[in-house]
Amino acid sequence: MVDLDNPVIRGYFINLVGEEGFKVVQKMPEGEVTDEKIAEVTGVLLNIVRRTLFILYENRLALYRRVRDTDSGWLTYLWKLELGSLDRQLELESRRILRNLKARLEFEEDKVFYTCKNQDGRYLFEEAAELEFICPECAEDLEYQDNEPIIKALKQRISEIEALSAGAAA
């Protein structure tokens, strides 16, 4: 059984389907149910329920079965959560985040930045030079930014995720 109170799992679902979508996951009835029934049980708007279900389906966390009504010919979709692949999805998400953090780290390490003291913007050296080191928003001088704290934070976060990944693999 998946612990939806786990902060990592909760954060993953909220990032994936939003707060309202997470309510759908939390309160989803057992077995196969229609989207209308899910909306009724969860108190979430039907269009949000449908959006959530399709996102979950795209991420292999929900299944559906179509049933045709013999009288009307209408199709009914019966939905069911299938969280068996959640560990795999979390692993893929972790890899994606790690890849993005490493790319950002490389970018930060390879570039020189200038900022406005009024927090109007952050510019690469080349951009700042084109602006003659004057902020285009407030006309204040652009100042060199030591991005070492950003680099340090990125390295820390990368090592934390790598440690978690190594622990999960063991």
Evaluate whether residue 77 is within a structural domain: yes
Q: Structurally, how many domains does the chain consist of? A: 2
Q: Which residue has the higher pLDDT, 8 or 58?
A: 58
Evaluate whether residue 2 is within a structural domain: no
Q: What is the pLDDT of residue 164?
A: 77
pLDDT one-digit tens code per residue, 40-75: 999 999 999 999 999 999 999 999 999 998 888 899
Joined together, the tokens standing for residue 115 give: 């900022």
Q: What is the pLDDT of residue 131?
A: 95
What is the domain-level CATH number for residue 15? 1.10.10.10
pLDDT over 80 at 89, yes or no: yes
- Domain that includes residue 114, residue range: 92-169
The model carries a pTM of 0.70
Evaluate whether residue 87 is within a structural domain: no
Evaluate whether residue 86 is within a structural domain: no
